[in-house]
Chain A
Amino acid sequence: MPMSRRALLGTAAATALPILPARAQKPTLKIGVLTDLSGPYKDVAGPGAIESTRQAAEDSGLKAKGIEVEILGADHQNKADVGASVARQWFDRDGVDVILEGTNSGEALAVASVAREKNKVFLNSGAATSDLTGTQCNANTIHWVYDTYMLAHSTGGAMVKAGGDSWFFIVADYAFGHALERDTTEFVQQAGGKVLGAVRYPFPSTTDFSSFLLQAQSSGAKVLGLASTGTDGINLIKQAHEFGIPMRIAGLLVFLTDVHSIGLEVAQGLALTASYYWDLNPGTRRFADKFTKRQPGRRPTMVQAGVYSSGLHYLKVAAEMGVAQAKADGAATVARMKATPTDDDCFGRGSIRIDGRKLCPSYLFEVKKPSESRGPWDYYKLLATTPADQAFRPLAAGGCPLVKG
């Protein structure tokens, strides 16, 4: 390939750049956003999560204090090994200090153990598994936003109080579905409700759920609990509407973008749990407006809000304790983050527990009727709130080795 002289000079300059003397360099924090840019969670997190991180960097005001924040983004392709190798490379080679997001449970657990091995920081917002702060917790990881226990507690407990006292489950036959089914059953029974039955369908190859829906209907239960997510959840809700199943539907994990994709006509009346909704209070709206400026035509999901909130908290704490120290010791940074109360537009005031669980209230929402909605993305109305101190699994029950006693 013939190369022009200018191109040659340019390449030479580019390769020479890293060896330039460091005197001009400001203290820099490096954030890596490891997310799904090409797969099923692209809309839930994806490019929006990277934008949320940029927003967090801007809002942290670190630039004014002379601290640079550099943001890298990468696609874990929903493969745990890709996630783990990108994480290793970021920590070992690229000087990344903290990794945000991580939508896929397998990938999140893998990245968490890389972060521990390299003594860096991992702030997860997208994964559902409560093992991240349970048996597989570590001192370098914080789990933001939600987990299976919190979803089950909010949806299971609050629904029974609202009169939905008999349940039937349709469960995705894998660890995530089983965890949701088990936990929700427990809360339904605790609240005095009954579980009349459950059916497990093979994940992820099922597209037609009508057979399971009819089984659910013939059970005579009042509430249909969907222990599934993503495409399966969408298909289930669409088909339940089509068959006119006269049950209250509780989606145990449904994101705002899923509701957007189903449309209100079909999704109306669906109950679901989230810890962030853009139209909840002035703070959430403030963040949502900033987000929409960066991603026109979209509103943030709770995962994207969690990325913002966790990034902001990290930057604040790292600046407080000194950039050099924060870069050197991930576990110490995380300990400091746990000791500092969180406060941001998305989740309000909150705290982080010793096992790495970020506490925030959980909200049970109902999807609005088309007539109630004022426009695109105006989808939820609030049914019930579980306060932050009750929303998550009690510290002692998780089996996290960091919890003494």
Chain B
Amino acid sequence: MIMIFGKPLLLLYGQLTLGLINGAFYALLSLGLAVIFGLLNIINFAHGALFMLGAYVAWALLEYLDIGYWPALVLAPLIVGVFGVVLEKTLIQRLYKLDHLYGLLLTFGCALIIEGLARNEFGSSGMPYAIPEALRGPLDLGFMMLPAYRAWVVVAAAGMCLLTWLVIEKTRLGSTLRAATENAKLVQAFGVNVPRLITLTYGAGAALAAFAGVLAAPIYSVNPGMGSNFIISVFAVVVIGGMGSILGSIITGFGLGILEGLTKVYYPEASATVIFVVMVIVLLARPAGLFGKA
């Protein structure tokens, strides 16, 4: 057997694959954060709560309306997206002229409310959510047996990231968006309804979080705290990638997932801290992040 640093190569391949899957969640979540930050200049602390909400909506659709995984994958992001729009219209909109930190504080408050309500309504120990029928069972990759669902997670997440990137970089809507980020007044003068654009962007970011939530529901415990466990790591990913950089957050998300996977093999005790260590190093070397503009 080929060994690398005392670990069998095959095991390592397996761990890299798993890291990629985790990276998929990081990428999806940090992508949403980056989109929202880019246009709204708001650090969306409620992102973890929206992620959790996505998983709960999927669960509720199944429980009360008998709507399965596949429709939920579309419906839950839509529902949470609408919720995001309402949130933006009623609360976040009032903050654009103020310092960034008020946005952070407001969304932090929203996260507390959403989490607290979920705990009151559904209890703390979480809900069961089964893997969809079509994706049960393993895939033989040669070096490991990968559950088919995990493979789907990577494909779906990568696809969604690519789609978002294409929309922002290659379409007319995307170029309007980017222009509005640069100079909102000018874009408005061209007859674009910028406030509506902003609202929709927040909704889209929320929907991305919810999409990740639905993907996560069958493999992670669906409980009120599931988002807040993730969110701080995701913040670090965004800082490393460069705030507001779409491509940066995608690449960093996947990359850090893999790095974390490797740490789990060589020194598992540090696997939670490794992201923050990288963050510190990156900040020292490139304060604007790997892909950010200084």
Contact-size category for B = 35 or more
Interface residues of A in 230-274 (CB under 8 A from B): 230-231, 234-235, 238-239, 242-244, 255, 257-258, 260-263, 265-266
Stretch at the interface among A36-44, A154-162, A385-393: A36-44
B155 CB within 8 Å of chain A = no
Contact status of A231 and B261, CB under 8 A, knowing A244-B138, A261-B128: no
Does B265 interact with chain A (Cβ within 8 Å)?
A: yes
Count how many pairs of residues, one from A and one from B, have CB atoms less than 8 Å apart in the complex: 116
Q: Nearest chain A CB to B58's CB is how many angstroms away?
A: 15
Indicate whether A242 sits within 8 Å of B131 (C-beta atoms), given known contacts A173-B269, A202-B273, A235-B220.
yes
Q: Do B268 and A207 touch (CB < 8 A)?
A: no
Q: Which residues of A contact B56 (CB under 8 A)?
A: none
Chain A residues in 8 Å Cβ range of B269: 173, 200-202
Give the distance in Å from the alpha carbon of A45 to the alpha carbon of B34 in the complex. Answer: 40
Q: Are A40 and B225 in contact (CB under 8 A)?
A: yes
Q: Does A4 contact B (CB under 8 A)?
A: no
A321 close to chain B: CB less than 8 A: no
A214-B265 Cα distance, complex, nearest whole Å: 10
Interface presence of B230 (CB below 8 A): yes
Would A218 and B233 count as touching, CB distance under 8 A? no
Name the one of B149, B225, B229, B273 contacting A242, with C-beta atoms under 8 angstroms: B149
Query: Does the CB pair B130–A234 fall under 8 Å?
Result: no
Is A292 interfacial (CB 8 A cutoff)? no
Nearest-neighbour CB distance to chain B for A356, whole angstroms, equals 28
**Least CB separation from B131: chain A residue:** A242
Per-residue contact bits, chain B 142-170, to A (CB 8 Å; 1 contact, 0 not): 00110101100000000000000000000
In-complex Cβ contact of A200 among B126, B147, B225, B268 (8 A): B268
Alpha-carbon separation in the docked complex, A349 to B149 (Å): 49
Interface positions, chain A 192-207, Cβ under 8 Å from B, are 199-202, 204-207
Q: Which residue of A lies closest to B230 (CB)?
A: A207
Are the CB atoms of B273 and A235 closer together than 8 Å? no
B120: nearest chain-A partner, CB-CB = A38
Please report the C-alpha to C-alpha distance between residue A234 and residue B127 in the assembled complex, in whole angstroms. Answer: 10
A residues within 8 A CB of B271? 201-202, 206
Contact A42 B124 (CB under 8 A): yes
Contact B233 A260 (CB under 8 A): no
- The answer to whether B126 touches A234, judged by C-beta atoms less than 8 angstroms apart, is yes
**Complex interface: stretch among B11-19, B64-72, B90-98:** B11-19
Contacting pair A210 B145 (CB below 8 A): no
A208 in the interface, Cβ–Cβ < 8 Å?
yes
Contact B124 A43 (CB under 8 A): yes
Selected from B8, B22, B124, B265, the residue in CB contact (under 8 A) with A39 is: B124
Among the interface residues B144, B145, B272, which one has the most CB atoms of the partner chain A within 10 A? B272
Whether B265 contacts A211 by the Cβ 8 Å rule is yes
Q: Which residue of A lies closest to B222 (CB)?
A: A261
How far is it, in angstroms, between the C-alpha of A230 and the C-alpha of B223 when the chains are bound? 10
Cβ distance A299 to chain B, nearest Cβ, rounded Å: 13
The answer, yes or no, to whether A325 is at the interface (CB within 8 Å) is no
In the complex, chain B residues whose CB is within 8 Å of the CB of A215:
11, 265
A212 at interface by CB-CB < 8 Å: yes
Q: Are B219 and A231 in contact (CB under 8 A)?
A: no
Query: Would you call B270 an interface residue if the criterion is a C-beta within 8 Å of the partner chain's C-beta atoms?
Result: yes
Closest to B126 in A: A261
Q: Which of A43, A204, A214 contacts B15 (CB 8 A)?
A: A214
B124-A40 in contact (CB<8A): yes
User: Which residue of chain B has its CB nearest to the CB of A242?
Assistant: B147
A266 touches which of B127, B128, B145, B273 (Cβ 8 Å): B128
User: B residues within 8 A CB of A244?
Assistant: 138, 145, 147
Give the distance to chain A from B21, nearest Cβ to Cβ, in Å: 7
A184 to chain B, nearest CB (A): 19
Query: Beyond A41-B124, A261-B128, is A204–B229 a contact (Cβ under 8 Å)?
Result: yes
For residue B10, which residue of chain A has the nearest CB? Answer: A218
B109 adjacent to chain A (CB < 8 Å)? no
Residue of B nearest to A257 (CB): B125
- Asked whether, in the complex, the Cβ of A208 is within 8 Å of the Cβ of B126, the reply is no
Q: Which residues on the A side are within 8 Å of B11 (C-beta)? A: 214-215, 218
How far does the Cβ of A71 sit from chain B's closest Cβ, in whole Å?
A: 21
Tell me the bound Cα distance from A215 to B268 in angstroms.
Answer: 11
Indicate if the CB atoms of B125 and A242 lie closer than 8 Å. Answer: no
Determine whether the beta carbon of A258 is less than 8 Å from that of B261: no
- The answer, yes or no, to whether B89 is at the interface (CB within 8 Å) is no
With beta carbons under 8 angstroms apart, the residue of A208, A231, A234, A260 that contacts B22 is A208
Complex CA–CA separation, A114 to B116 (angstroms)? 30
Which 6 pairs show the lowest CB-CB distances between chains A and B? A202-B272, A263-B128, A234-B221, A42-B124, A211-B264, A43-B125
Q: A218-B8, A234-B125, A234-B223 are in contact. List 7 more A-B contacts (CB 8 A).
A: A199-B268, A202-B272, A231-B221, A243-B145, A258-B125, A261-B125, A266-B130
22 A-B pairs with C-beta separation under 8 A = A40-B223, A41-B124, A42-B123, A43-B125, A207-B230, A210-B18, A211-B15, A211-B265, A212-B264, A212-B268, A214-B14, A231-B221, A231-B225, A234-B223, A239-B219, A242-B149, A243-B138, A261-B125, A261-B126, A261-B127, A263-B128, A265-B130
Name A residues whose Cβ lies closer than 8 Å to a Cβ of B. 36, 38-44, 46, 173, 199-202, 204-208, 210-212, 214-215, 218, 230-231, 234-235, 238-239, 242-244, 255, 257-258, 260-263, 265-266
